[in-house]
């Protein structure tokens, strides 16, 4: 399956009732659980990335100063989602990279390629909480007509 | 819905059924059980009871709540030949742990300059998301850290030998740094010597209640006038990546189709993969031990800078997320087993050789941190724990509601004001990090330790209350 959803396209989408919500957080005793929405798998994955970082800061507050390219693989869609989010945590831990937006995301079979924009935490950003890891716990990728819902629980 | 029975006041049981190899046992009061049964804790305990080679029972501690795979507050021991080892039974934050320091600084003296102290700690102990340590190290150094843990830090001048002698495993688990991926090492490199964020904290406290004077004295905690310091942190991104790496590798090798939860993935303990995970986990644990040793050193420097000469000694340092090979009595015979403690603390009674000499006659100190702004407790390990929980008890308050609920309902300013009314000063990287760790989202720690004491798996020694809190 080939999915292509450049984020600027998403941003330009009219905020109709179906598109207004990029993600929502659900009740969970200990960890952070969210559902991310998109018309395509790529868009849902991009919104899952925004949701994960929203645990620690508001991506909308981060300037898209620097870009990073991500390429990852996964043996199934859940593994791909897990690995994609983990790549972003890797950038956070190794460079202090805070995500502002996903500029481009392409999912082709088992391979995901993306370009993300953001800034370094050292440039004066306030953060809170911590995402320690992505988990497979209650992970779900649901495909409905014109809608993909990606559910993730992250360890905090 | 999971069927369970009440055995006695604080003991519950999930009888063996279906694929369960052993029953599950829950230690909780009626009140704690009311919240435990509301989430997936019991279902997860039942899943653990199905894992190969599990011994006696899957155990659930009084502070338990839903985790991923294993419940948080879960204890399970596995046969070393037939059994499994599971990264999900240890947790992503390998060796998330707590160290307690005692000082000879009086509360009165402390209060005079406490604002200066917390400001200086905030500058000198790195904390927060994506923010690393102040010590830049290279890969060769990290390999040493992963092999030697707190002992590496002491050799490098961060503290003294006594510190690691009063740490579980003497601050150094058996480990193989080469079992740790380059990726995990890259995540660890900038983070050595940092507190992290989330539920991790550094707290200045005072002893406000002594339950057992003899043991308090043995732990050096008999003096109510002096302040104590508690450090709660783990293995940061390095440990998280070790867990992720081995979950993936175990999935590739063994598949997860038969598992009720993908996070229960495991490998036979005696397999090459199981052994590699065990040694990589040990390396992650050593990173956490070194981390706290470095922070201890900076805490000493900051106290000295603000107050002049202050004696600061380690009381003990306990692991919360770990798997260990230990000997326990099963069917009347001593047997080596692999004990997984995920959000649980070891609680060995008198005589165990694993306990430092100074505490061997009374039992090990068990440090149970409260949530931000609430009391914390020091218990003493017991023989009863060795008999009924593989020598384990609770690890903290345990959450009752989510951080997102906390952020919706509670403001950081409100929490700070409420704490200020109780005389507690708090400094954090942001208001939100205060709100999401608000005392309201945690279980009642007093109830948790009361149950531990009543069941006899960790007996009350002292209660400490916070004076100043630093959060990442």
The per-residue pLDDT for range A106-125, each reduced to its tens digit, is 999 999 999 999 999 999 89
pLDDT on residue B436 = 79
**β-bridge partners, B354:** none
**Which residues sit opposite A46 in a β-bridge?**
none
Max CA pair span of chain A: 42
Q: Is B240 on the interface with A (CB under 8 A)?
A: yes
Per the listing, tokens 């693989």 go with A73
Which tens digit of pLDDT belongs to each residue from B269-294? 999 999 999 999 999 999 999 999 99
Range of the domain at A111: 2-12+24-155
Q: With an 8 Å Cβ cutoff, is A155 touching chain B?
A: yes
The verdict on residue B422 lying in a domain is no
What is the three-state SS of B418-444? HHHHCCCEEEECCHHHHHCCCHHHECC
Q: Which are the contacts of B178, defined by CB distance < 8 A and separation ≥ 6? A: none
Which pLDDT score is estimated for A19? Answer: 47
In a domain, B206, yes or no: yes
Q: How far apart are CA B437 and CA B167, in angstroms?
A: 27
Note the ipTM here: 0.87
Q: Looking up tokens 């390999």, which residue turns up?
A: B143
Name the residue in chain B with its Cα closest to that of A75: B252
* Model pLDDT, residue B265: 96
Six-digit token string for B158 = 């961060």
Q: Is residue A61 part of a domain?
A: yes
CB contact set of B248 (below 8 Å; sequence gap of 6+)? A79
Q: What are phi and psi of B109, to 5 degrees?
A: -65, -45
* Domain assignment of residue A17, yes or no: no
Say which DSSP state B220 is in.
Answer: T
Q: CATH number, domain at B306?
A: 3.90.1860.10
CA-nearest of B170, B165, B228 to B461 is: B228
Structure tokens, B365: 């100190």
Alpha-carbon distances of B20 from B45, B266, B362, rounded to whole Å: 10, 16, 37
Give the model's pLDDT for residue B126: 87
Give B-chain residues touching A90 at CB under 8 angstroms: 183, 186-187, 237, 241
Give chain A's radius of gyration (CA, Å): 14
CATH assignment at residue A44: 3.55.10.10
The list of chain B residues with pLDDT below 70 reads 132-133, 403-404
For B365-384, give one letter per residue: b (16+ CB within 10 A) or e.
Answer: bbbbbbbbbbbbbbbbbbeb
In a mutational test of the A interface, the residue from B89, B129, B262 whose CB has the highest number of chain A CBs within 10 Å is B129
Nearest to A131 by CA among B196, B332, B349: B196
Does the beta carbon of A123 lie under 8 angstroms from any beta carbon of chain B?
no
Chain A nearest C-alpha distance from B136 (Å): 12
Q: What whole-number distance in Å separates Cα of residue A15 and Cα of residue B341?
A: 47
Interface contact B92, partner A, CB < 8 A: yes
Q: Categorize the per-residue pLDDT at A20 as very low, low, confident or very high, splitting at 50, 70 and 90.
A: low
Q: Is B395 considered catalytic here?
A: yes
pLDDT of the residue at A2: 32
Q: Chain B, 279-338: which have a CB under 8 Å from a chain A CB? A: none
pLDDT digits (tens, 9 = 90+) for A24-37: 988 777 678 999 99
Domain of B40 in residue numbering reads as 5-400+442-471
Please answer yes or no on whether B403 and A55 come within 8 Å at the CB atom: yes
Number of domains comprising chain B: 1
Considering the domain boundaries, does residue A105 fall inside one?
Answer: yes
- What contacts A150, CB < 8 A, 6 or more positions away? A35, A36, A37, A38, A41, A44, A45, A47, A48, A81, A140, A141
Q: How many CB pairs under 8 A join A and B?
A: 139
For residue A25, list chain B residues with Cβ-Cβ distance below 8 A: 402, 404
A26, A82, A133: residue with CB nearest B240: A133
**What is the number of structural domains in chain A?**
1
Residue A91 is assigned to a structural domain of this protein: yes
Binary contact (B68, A90; C-beta < 8 A): no
Q: Are A85 and A44 in contact (CB under 8 A)?
A: no
Q: How confident is the model at residue A1 (pLDDT cuts 50, 70, 90)?
A: very low
Question: Does residue B143 sit within a domain?
Answer: yes
Q: Does residue B431 sit within a domain?
A: no
Q: Is residue B311 part of a domain?
A: yes
Please write the tens of the pLDDT for every residue from B310-369: 999 999 999 999 999 999 999 999 999 999 999 999 999 999 999 999 999 999 999 999
Going by the DSSP 8-state scheme, the letter that residue B380 receives in this structure is: E
| CA gap B183, A111 in Å, rounded | 19
Under 8 Å between Cβ of B319 and B183? no
In this structure, is residue A18 part of a structural domain? no
């Amino acid at each position: 399956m080939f999915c292509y959803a450049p984020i600027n396209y998403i941003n330009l989408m009219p905020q109709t009732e179906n598109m207004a919500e990029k993600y929502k957080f659900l009740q969970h005793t200990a960890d952070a659980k969210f559902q991310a929405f998109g018309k395509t798998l790529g868009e849902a994955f991009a919104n899952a990335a925004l949701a994960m970082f929203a645990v620690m800061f508001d991506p909308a507050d981060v300037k898209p100063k620097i870009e990073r390219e991500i390429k990852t693989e996964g043996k199934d869609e859940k593994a791909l989602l897990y690995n994609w989010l983990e790549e972003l945590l890797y950038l956070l831990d190794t460079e202090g990279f805070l995500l502002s937006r996903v500029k481009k995301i392409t999912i082709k079979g088992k391979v995901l390629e993306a370009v993300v924009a953001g800034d370094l935490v050292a440039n004066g950003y306030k953060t809170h909480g911590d995402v320690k890891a992505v988990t497979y716990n209650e992970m779900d990728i649901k495909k409905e007509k014109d809608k993909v819902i990606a559910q993730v629980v992250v360890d905090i | 819905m999971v069927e369970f029975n009440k055995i006695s006041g604080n003991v519950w049981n999930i009888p063996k059924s279906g694929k369960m190899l052993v029953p599950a046992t829950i230690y909780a009061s009626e009140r704690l059980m009311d919240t435990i049964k509301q989430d997936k804790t019991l279902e997860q305990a039942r899943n653990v009871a199905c894992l190969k080679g599990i011994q006696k029972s899957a155990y659930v501690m009084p502070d338990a709540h839903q985790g991923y795979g294993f419940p948080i507050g879960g204890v399970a021991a596995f046969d070393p030949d037939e059994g499994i080892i599971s990264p999900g039974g240890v947790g992503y934050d390998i060796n998330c742990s707590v160290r307690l320091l005692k000082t000879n600084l009086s509360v009165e003296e402390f209060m005079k300059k406490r604002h200066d102290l917390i400001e200086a700690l905030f500058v000198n102990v790195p904390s927060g998301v994506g923010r690393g340590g102040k010590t830049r190290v290279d890969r060769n150094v990290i390999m040493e850290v992963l092999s030697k843990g707190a002992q590496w830090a002491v050799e490098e001048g961060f503290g003294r030998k006594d510190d690691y002698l009063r740490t579980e495993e003497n601050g150094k688990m058996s480990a193989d740094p080469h079992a740790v991926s380059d990726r995990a090492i890259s995540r660890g490199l900038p983070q050595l010597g940092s507190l992290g964020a989330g539920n991790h904290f550094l707290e200045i406290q005072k002893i406000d209640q002594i339950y057992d004077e003899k043991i308090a004295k043995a732990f050096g905690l008999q003096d109510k006038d002096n302040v104590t310091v508690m450090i709660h942190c783990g293995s940061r991104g390095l440990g998280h990546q070790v867990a992720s790496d081995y979950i993936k590798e175990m999935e590739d090798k063994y598949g997860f189709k038969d598992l009720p939860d993908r996070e229960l993935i495991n490998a036979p303990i005696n397999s090459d993969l199981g052994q590699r995970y065990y040694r990589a986990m040990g390396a992650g644990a050593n990173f956490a031990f070194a981390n706290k040793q470095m922070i201890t050193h900076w805490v000493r420097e900051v106290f000295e800078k603000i107050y002049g000469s202050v004696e600061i000694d380690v009381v003990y340092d306990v692991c919360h997320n770990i798997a260990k090979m230990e000997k326990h009595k099963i069917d009347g015979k001593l047997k080596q087993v692999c004990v997984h403690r995920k959000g649980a603390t070891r609680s060995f009674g008198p005589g165990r050789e694993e306990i430092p000499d100074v505490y061997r006659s009374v039992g090990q100190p068990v440090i149970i941190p409260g949530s931000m702004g609430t009391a914390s407790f020091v218990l003493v390990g017991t023989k009863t724990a060795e008999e009924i929980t593989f020598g384990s008890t609770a690890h903290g308050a345990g959450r009752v509601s989510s951080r997102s609920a906390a952020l919706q309902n509670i403001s950081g300013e409100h929490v700070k004001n409420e704490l200020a009314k109780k005389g507690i000063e708090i400094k954090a990287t942001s208001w939100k990090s205060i709100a999401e760790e608000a005392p309201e989202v945690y279980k009642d720690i007093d109830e948790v330790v009361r149950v531990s004491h009543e069941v006899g798996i960790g007996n009350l020694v002292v209660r400490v209350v916070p004076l100043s809190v630093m959060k990442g």
